[in-house]
């Protein structure tokens, strides 16, 4: 025993030593990886951050400039076509403007003004002009013949329609008539939406200003109007096109060639540095992840001998608490102590499951014995009344009916006994039910009729004996009105993977509470086998999903269904 203990102590010391060595190796790997990563990526950051920031900002602003320039050129060409068509006939001119408004959804309206500012003509998509236009924001008197592009403004010449537009205006000289001014209102939302989506870094942006530094459009215009944000317009106005840095802010400026607008990009040095730092951190994290994976690999080797087997055993114990009956234990491998615990726990599981199975079988056996005892009880009132009816028939000379009634009673008892078997065929159960109905029909003096509707394929399946009689008895005792002729329908049919035996009547019906009460009664109040007895027997033999269901409506009748699985006589051991 002493040598065995010494061997165990040596194994423990060796394992602890290996764990310490692995810890030192992991720490060294992490430190080396972090140092190398920081050194490499810090050098990359120092060499590229400034140039990348300037290049990125310039590319973004140039892209915005090109887009707006192309858009304005496109609108200028359309404006030229408008000016040319002003010399055409009224019919040609109207067709051209109508087609233009249909094709170009961004063109809101085309207007013609006299040189004193009076509105001479207007083409739109069916909007109604105001009766009195106090101040036409889309009209600016031109002093030259060059194309004029206004600042964004609200178009206010139509009723209940106020789009945000930019107006292209130009003088038109007509032979033999005074000069006019043609204006085309273009929806500014397209340009604004594009500028809104442009970003330089996380918080950088672009905006449009004129050469005087006045803001034409800003994505944060509401903040500027509210005084919550301010742009350095005075300083920016003096900047030439190019990139300028001031107080940690990078301004990139590009002027448009076809108007007096300037595209100004704003980005932040600190933010761009942070983005580079974030990239460096991602690289370092990548290295760290590689180290962690290596650590996890080496740690898993140790876990196989220590922590993982213990966790598996603890998890098995928790599962056993939840699923004691169906639990299946697989021995856990590991150190000597873990194996010993695993073996002991496995033996305990087997013993507990054997005890649970024994208790369960004893409970089922006891329940079956109780139900068999109930089933074996013959209603003495039913027997006495039947024999009295037979005696009365003999006295009045109705011997043939008496013989038929006695034969039915004998056959009913013979099927009830069925050699002590609990399960009989559906065919035998139907014969038992028919015998019972014949006897009751004699006793009730033909005050009811009955009908069997049976799927012949179901006759060979097995069912609990004396299952239909309690259902039929309930119809006779509780369902049918003795003052009227009653109808009882017995059905047997297949439904998916089940056999359904149903008994329906056209009687007085029951409330939902009465239906529930019937399923709760242990026996019929006159001593017969109750519906609860039938329901319990089916559930014990076949499972909780099977049993009796009752549906009923007052003055309509009651339907009771008995659901059982499809079991053939050859497949079941009696």
What is the tens place of the pLDDT at every residue in 373-416? 555 554 555 666 677 777 777 877 777 877 878 887 888 777 77
Do 564 and 422 contact (CB within 8 A), yes or no?
no
Burial 105-139 (b: 16+ CB within 10 A, else e): ebbbbbbbbeeeeebeebbbeebeeeeeeeebbbb
Could you identify the residue written with the tokens 């021995």? Answer: 331
Stretches in the chain below the pLDDT threshold 50: 1-19, 378, 523-528
Annotate 306-355 with DSSP letters as a single string.
THHHHHHHHHHHHHHHHSTTT----PPPSSHHHHHHHHHHHHHHHHHHHH
CA distance 329 to 231: 73
Q: What is the pLDDT of residue 529?
A: 56
Q: What is the pLDDT of residue 430?
A: 92
Length of the chain: 574
CA distance 450 to 434: 9
Would you give the distance in Å from CA 133 to the centre of its chain?
Answer: 55
Q: What is the pLDDT of residue 15?
A: 43
Q: What is the pLDDT of residue 523?
A: 46
Of 134, 133, 186, nearest to 158 by C-alpha is: 133
Q: How does pLDDT run across 153-206, given as a tens digit for each residue? A: 888 888 888 888 888 888 887 655 677 888 888 888 888 888 888 887 777 888
Could you identify the residue written with the tokens 């009547």? Answer: 505
pTM over 0.85: no
From the CB of residue 495, how many other CB atoms can be counted at a distance below 10 Å? 10
CA distance 70 to 244: 26
Q: What is the pLDDT of residue 475?
A: 85
Phi, psi of 69 (to 5 degrees): -60, -45
Do 268 and 204 contact (CB within 8 A), yes or no?
yes
Q: What is the DSSP letter of 572?
A: S
Do 439 and 386 contact (CB within 8 A), yes or no?
yes
Q: In the chain, what's the furthest Cα-to-Cα distance? A: 137
């Amino acid at each position: 025993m002493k040598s065995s203990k010494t061997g165990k102590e040596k194994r423990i010391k060796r394992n602890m030593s290996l764990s310490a060595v692995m810890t030192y190796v992991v720490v060294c790997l992490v430190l080396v990886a972090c140092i190398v990563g920081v050194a490499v990526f810090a050098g990359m950051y120092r060499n590229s951050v400034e140039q990348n920031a300037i290049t990125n900002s310039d590319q973004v602003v140039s892209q915005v400039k090109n887009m707006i320039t192309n858009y304005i050129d496109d609108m200028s060409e359309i404006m030229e076509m408008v000016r040319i068509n002003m010399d055409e006939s009224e019919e040609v001119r109207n067709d051209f403007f109508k087609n233009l408004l249909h094709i170009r959804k961004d063109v809101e309206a085309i207007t013609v003004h006299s040189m004193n500012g009076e509105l001479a003509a207007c083409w739109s998509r069916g909007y109604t002009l105001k009766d009195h236009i106090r101040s036409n924001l889309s009209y600016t008197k031109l002093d030259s013949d060059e194309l004029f592009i206004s600042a964004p403004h609200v178009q206010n010449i139509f009723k209940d329609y106020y789009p945000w537009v930019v107006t292209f205006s130009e003088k038109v000289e007509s032979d033999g008539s005074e000069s006019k001014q043609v204006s085309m209102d273009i929806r500014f939302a397209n340009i604004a939406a594009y500028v809104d989506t442009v970003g330089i870094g996380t918080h950088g942006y672009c905006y449009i200003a004129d050469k005087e530094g006045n803001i034409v459009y800003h994505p944060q215009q509401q903040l500027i109007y509210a005084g919550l944000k301010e742009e350095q317009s005075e300083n920016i106005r003096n900047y030439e096109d190019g990139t300028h840095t001031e107080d940690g802010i990078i301004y990139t400026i590009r002027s448009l060639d076809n108007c007096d607008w300037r595209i100004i990009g704003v980005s932040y040095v600190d933010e761009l540095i942070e983005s580079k730092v974030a990239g460096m951190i991602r690289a370092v994290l990548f290295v760290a992840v590689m180290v962690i994976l290596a650590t996890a690999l080496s740690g898993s080797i140790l876990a196989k001998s220590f922590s993982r087997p213990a966790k598996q055993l603890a998890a098995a114990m928790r599962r056993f608490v939840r699923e004691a009956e169906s639990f299946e234990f697989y021995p856990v491998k590991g150190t000597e102590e873990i194996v010993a615990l695993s073996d002991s726990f496995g033996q305990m599981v087997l013993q507990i499951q054997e005890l649970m199975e024994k208790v369960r079988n004893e409970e089922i056996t006891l329940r079956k014995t109780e139900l068999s005892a109930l089933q074996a009880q013959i209603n003495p009132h039913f027997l006495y009344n039947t024999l009295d009816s037979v005696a009365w028939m003999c006295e009045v000379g109705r011997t043939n009916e008496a013989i038929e009634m006695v034969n039915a009673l004998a056959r009913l008892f013979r099927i009830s006994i069925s050699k002590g078997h609990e399960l009989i065929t559906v065919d035998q159960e139907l014969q038992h039910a028919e015998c019972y109905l014949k006897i009751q029909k004699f006793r009730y003096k033909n005050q009811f009729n009955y009908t069997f509707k049976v799927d012949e394929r179901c006759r060979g399946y097995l069912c609990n004996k004396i299952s239909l009689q309690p259902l039929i008895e309930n119809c006779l005792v509780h369902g049918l009105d003795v003052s009227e002729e009653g109808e009882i329908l017995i059905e047997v049919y297949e439904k998916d993977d089940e056999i359904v035996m149903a008994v329906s009547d056209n009687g007085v019906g029951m409330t939902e509470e009465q239906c529930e009460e019937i399923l709760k009664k242990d026996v019929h109040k006159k001593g017969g086998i109750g519906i609860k007895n039938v329901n319990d027997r089916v559930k014990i033999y076949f499972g909780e999903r099977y049993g009796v269901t009752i549906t009923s409506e007052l003055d309509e009748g009651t339907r009771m269904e008995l659901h059982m699985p499809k079991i053939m006589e050859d497949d079941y051991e009696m």
